[in-house]
Amino acid sequence: MDFTPDPDHEAIRDAVRRLCGRFDDAYWRACDSEHRFPWDFYRAMADGGWVGIAIPEEYGGGGRGITEASIVLEEVAASGAAMNGCSAVHLSIFGMNPVVKHGSEQMRSAYLPRVAVGELHVAFGVTEPDAGTDTTAITTRAVLEGDHYVVTGRKVWTSKALDCDKVLLLVRTTPLEQCARRTDGMTLLLADLQRPEVDIQAIPKVGRNAVESCEVRYDGLPVAVADRVGEEGQGFRYLLDGLNPERILVAAEALGTGRAALRRAVQYAKDRVVFGRPIGQNQGVAFPLAEAHARLAAAELAIRQASWRYDNGLPCGEQANLAKWLAADAGWQAADQAVQTHGGYGYALEYDVERYWREARLMRIAPISQELVMSYVAEHVLGLPRSY
Amino acid sequence: MNVVVCVKQIPDPASPGKLDPSTKTLVREGKLVVDDSDMYGIEMALQLVGTAGGGEVTLVSMAPNNETAGLRTGLAMGAAKAILVSDDSLKGADALTTAKVLAAAIKRVNPDLVIAATESTDGYTGTLPVQMAELLGFPSITFAKSVQVDGTTVKVDRQTEAGYDEVECPLPAVVTVTAGVVEPRYPSFKGIMAAKGKPVEQLTVADLGIDGGVAVTQEVTDVVAAEARKAGEIVTDEGDAHERIVQFLEQLKVI
Ligand SMILES: Cc1cc2nc3c(=O)[nH]c(=O)nc-3n(C[C@H](O)[C@H](O)[C@H](O)COP(=O)(O)OP(=O)(O)OC[C@H]3O[C@@H](n4cnc5c(N)ncnc54)[C@H](O)[C@@H]3O)c2cc1C
């Protein structure tokens, strides 16, 4: 076991921290309350090469692994940018993974370099009103007509759709009832978003409002066959490929969000004087914060183990799932305790902890709920019977 | 044009600093980072070399334990190489000793211009750059808020309390820059990776061949806490607060 800090990782942390240091709480508070995409921040991240860090070098990216990408996202969140910052860059950092892994050479060289420099924005459209956790229930349909598909259907929660040129869209090319297995018959398309056949409406939501998540209707949208990722009918399998690294990145984001909240809470506990002493002197205030730190530290170790296994080509389903569960839980606990520590001011927008709290809450729901992680662990790690 | 930037690597300002109870100087063990105030000098140097259309930026630093983490940040920003002087005999070095060491290291590069911050942010006297200039035999200009090189002359807007003076002197020279002289670039990912391959020459005092050697002669005899700032005056608004604030400011002769 070797925990020697890696100089590259330290340098990445330091550089991302410096960059994020220029985007203060007032910036994020304004982006959140005005529902404004953080373009300046996005530009700075792209120019620094951070957005393309995990895209292969031959396509203009940094060619690094999930470990480095997770460090970048953790630092973004921990800077106080929290999920507003992470979600702004997450899709560009990792969203194109199915294209990297399964796209044709033509597709990769056409799109990846533009994503790596932050010029092309691609959303991810999987969830539908009647297909969330159960992805196989999707009904958005693509019918082949000569050299293109025609897509009709409805997606929900497609994040950043208003600002994206394209969307990686999961569609049914074969209806469920004609499939031997529920996981068959789905195909991944790299479709255009800003077209008359597409209607995009932002969904009013609790937090992370700098990045809108949208309801998107597709009404006869043509998509060239050349814009299909890999083979027809293999879309679900391609998504599965990306689940573990996705969980690791999400865990890192939750960890960073928790760290930002805890830092605020500790400072406030030192500064706020009640009954003639700083509130942090009371064990009733101090211990929950110490506990939050302990939980975050444990989650961090789980993340590091999972990302190390993934980058070394080892199976990491258990580790990635546990990392996601532990970090989402620890991040939420830290954010909730930060609000509690601030008393009434925790409920005021000015102190930022409520923003972390709203964003930390999200991490227990999306992109995968805590329950479904438990379901994975129960079935695949403990060998209990499958529940669905 | 070749520019040297003096870079101090300091304990991370994010973690609370500690004093060594025996020497009463700042503890510098553990991870060091580049002093934020040097980021401006590095950026200024990179821009001047860019404008000149040739030459390179060399970073020069003195730090314990062969620490290079802070130098790597500067190399990642675009400096070409670095010289690091690290020697146990320099523990607790005062400003003059440090100036001797840095001047000797700088001489090896033969620069056209040496840039330093006006002062560092951890333990500082603000005297080092001019001492170094004297030892190098270079003229010096302090508190630059803008720097331009014109042939063999450096032209500086020198910050003063009242505004700024326009001054110039022949190269080679030492110039100290204020925060805000330029906006430092962020080290990019590609820059960080490229920095790994850039040379950092590691030297000891013996390698520098300083005339008469160096001896740390400064002794810190006592350390006292800074006087707490006096509590401000609180004006409670009873309808006339604006008048009382104006009166107060008039008393201070600020308006
Ligand atoms: C802010 C935000 C952004 C999003 N961005 C995107 C995006 O960009 N692209 C995209 O495709 N999707 C996105 N999503 C959607 C997200 O992935 C889904 O919300 C998530 O997968 C859950 O699906 P659902 O909401 O339909 O919940 P449901 O599937 O309806 O589940 C409801 C509840 O039941 C529980 N449950 C269901 N089945 C089981 C079971 N077998 N055992 C135990 N518990 C169970 C779930 O855990 C959950 O708590 C986003 C969501 C949000 C909130």
The ipTM of this complex is 0.86
Domain ranges of chain B: 3-220
Residue B37 forms contact with A (CB below 8 Å): no
Are A243 and A373 in a shared domain? yes
A388 lines ligand 1 (CB under 6 A): yes
* Paired tokens of A169: 């869209």
Nearest CA in chain A to B73: A11
Residue A288 lies in a domain: yes
* Residue A133 lies inside a defined structural domain of this protein: yes
Average pLDDT along chain B: 92
- On whether the CB atoms of residues B48 and B3 are closer than 8 A, the answer is yes
Task: Determine whether the interchain pair A7/B190 forms a contact, defined as Cβ–Cβ distance below 8 Å.
Answer: no
Pairing mode of beta strands A166-172, A122-125: parallel
What's the pLDDT at A246? 96
Residues across chain A = 388
Compare CB distances from B189 to A7, A10, A50 and report the shortest one's residue: A50
As a whole number of angstroms, the distance between CA A25 and CA A354 comes to 12
DSSP 3-state assignment of B149? strand
Per-residue pLDDT, A110: 97
CA B115 – CA B178 distance, rounded (Å) = 11
DSSP string, B210-255: -TT------------PPPPPPPPPP---SS-HHHHHHHHHHHTT--
Ligand 1 contact, A372 CB (< 6 A): yes
CA distances from A77 to A92, A170, B230 (A): 16, 28, 37
Residue B114 has pLDDT above 90, yes or no: yes
% of chain B surpassing 90 pLDDT: 65
d(CA A117, CA A52): 6
B172 touches chain A (CB under 8 A): no
Specify the number of domains making up chain A. 3
Q: If we measure between CA atoms, which residue out of B176, B84, B74, B85 comes closest to residue B131?
A: B176
Residue numbers of chain A with a pLDDT score lower than 70: none
Q: Is B61 on the interface with A (CB under 8 A)?
A: no
- In this complex, the residue of A7, A18, A48 whose CB is nearest that of residue B189 is A48
The alpha carbons of chain B give a radius of gyration, in whole angstroms, of: 21
Residue B186: which of A48, A53, A62 has the nearest Cβ?
A: A48
In the sheet with B140-150, reading across from the earlier edge strand, the strands are: B164-170, B153-159, B140-150, B173-177, B113-117, B3-6, B57-62, B81-85, B200-203
Claim to verify: residue A280 and residue A371 sit in the same structural domain: yes
Q: In whole angstroms, what is the distance from residue B98 CA to residue B214 CA?
A: 9
Is A49 an 8 Å CB contact of chain B?
A: yes
Six-digit token pair at B62?
């003195």
Assign domain B3-220 to its CATH superfamily: HUPs (3.40.50.620)
> What DSSP character marks residue B180?
T
Q: Indicate whether B50 pLDDT > 90.
A: yes
Q: Touching check for B76 and chain A: CB below 8 Å? A: yes
Cα–chain center distance at A282: 36
Report the alpha-carbon distance of residue A345 to residue A342 in Å, rounded.
5
Out of A167, A199, A233, pick the residue that ends a domain.
A233
Does the distance separating the beta carbons of A10 and B188 come in below 8 Å?
A: no
How do A228-229 and A277-278 pair as beta strands? Answer: unpaired
Domain shared by A243 and A377, yes or no: yes
The domain boundary residue, chosen from A191, A208, A233: A233
Q: Which residues of B touch A61 (CB under 8 A)?
A: none
- Say if ligand 1 is within 6 A of residue A207 CB: no
Record the tokens describing residue A304, joined without a space: 């590091």
Asked if B73 is an interface residue toward chain A (Cβ–Cβ < 8 A), one would say: yes
- Both A202 and A92 in a single domain? no
Block residue for tokens 């107060």: B248
Average pLDDT over residues B148-177: 96
Provide DSSP, A251-302: HHHHHHHHHHHHHHHHHHHHH-EETTEEGGGSHHHHHHHHHHHHHHHHHHHH
Q: Among A18, A41, A57, which would you mutate to test the B interface (most chain B Cβ atoms within 10 Å of its Cβ)? A: A18
Q: Is residue A365 part of a domain?
A: yes
CA distance A181 to A287: 51
Examine residue A220 and state whether it is found in any structural domain, yes or no.
Answer: yes
Give the N- to C-terminal CA distance of chain B in Å, as an integer.
Answer: 47
What is the Cα Rg of chain A in Å? 21
* Residues in chain A closer than 8 A to B192 (CB atoms): 8, 11-12, 15
Asked which of A168, A199, A233 is the last residue of a domain, the reply is: A233
Q: Which residue segment(s) compose the domain that A186 sits in? A: 122-233
Question: Is the same domain home to A244 and A372?
Answer: yes
Does B192 reach chain A within 8 Å, measured CB to CB?
A: yes
Across the interface, of A7, A18, A62, the residue whose CB is closest to B189 is: A62
- Ligand 1 neighbourhood includes A213 CB (under 6 angstroms): yes
Is the CB of A375 within 6 Å of ligand 1?
yes
- Give pLDDT, residue B31: 80
Per-residue pLDDT of B129-161, as tens digits, reads 999 999 999 999 999 999 999 999 999 999 999
Contact (Cβ atoms closer than 8 angstroms) between residue B38 and residue B7: yes
Would A184 be classed as within a structural domain? yes
- What is the distance between the alpha carbons of residues A243 and A87, in angstroms, rounded to a whole number? 17
Q: Give CA–CA dist B34/B22, Å, rounded.
A: 26
Residues in Cβ contact with B125 at an 8 Å cutoff, skipping those fewer than 6 apart:
B95, B119
CA distances from A200 to A37, A123, B28, B203, B206 (A): 16, 12, 56, 62, 70
Confidence of residue B23 (pLDDT cuts 50, 70, 90): confident
Question: Are A322 and A282 members of one domain?
Answer: yes
Q: What CA–CA distance (Å, rounded) separates A99 from B22?
A: 61
In this complex, the residue of A8, A10, A49 whose CB is nearest that of residue B188 is: A49
Residues A249 and A199 in one domain: no
Rounded Cα gap, residues B18 and B27, in angstroms: 6
Q: Ligand 1 in contact with A124 (CB < 6 A)?
A: yes
* Residue A342 domain flag: yes
Q: Which residues contact residue A43 at a Cβ distance below 8 angstroms, ignoring those fewer than 6 apart?
A: A118
Choice from A93, A133, A213, A376 to test ligand 1 binding pocket (greatest atom count within 8 A of CB): A133
Is residue A387 included in any domain, yes or no? no
Q: Are B42 and B186 in contact (CB under 8 A)?
A: no
SS3 state of residue B152: coil
State whether residue A56 is helix, strand or coil.
coil
Q: Are residues A180 and A256 in the same domain?
A: no
* A333-352 per-position pLDDT tens digit: 999 999 999 999 999 999 99
Q: Where do the DSSP E strands lie in chain B?
A: 3-6, 9-11, 32-34, 57-62, 81-85, 113-117, 140-150, 153-159, 164-170, 173-177, 200-203
If asked whether residues A131 and A222 sit together in one domain, one would say: yes
Residue A333 sits in a domain whose CATH number is: 1.20.140.10
Pair (A58, A139) in one structural domain: no
**A387 ligand 1 Cβ < 6 A:** yes
Is the CB of residue A102 less than 8 Å from the CB of residue A112? no
Kindly state the average pLDDT of the residues B114-140: 93
Question: Token pair for residue B11?
Answer: 């304990």
Are B189 and A10 within 8 A, CB to CB?
A: no
The sign of the CA dihedral A280, A284, A287, A292 is negative
- At residue B27 the predicted structure's pLDDT band, cuts being 50, 70 and 90, is confident
Spatial CB neighbours of B232, under 8 Å, sequence gap ≥ 6: none
On whether residue A388 sits in a domain, the answer given is no
Please check whether residues A247 and A265 belong to one and the same domain: yes
Q: Is A216 within 8 Å of A154 (Cβ atoms)? A: yes
* Angle CA B193–B194–B195, to nearest 5: 90
pLDDT at site A31: 98
**CA gap B165, B150 in Å, rounded:** 17
| Residue A266 shares a structural domain with residue A346 | yes
Average pLDDT over residues B46-74: 95
Among A259, A249, A262, CA closest to A303: A249
Quick one: A378 exposed, middle or buried, by C-beta within 10 A (0-12, 13-18, 19+)?
middle
Chain A CB within 8 Å of residue B189 CB: yes
What's the whole-model pTM score? Answer: 0.90
pLDDT at B26: 83
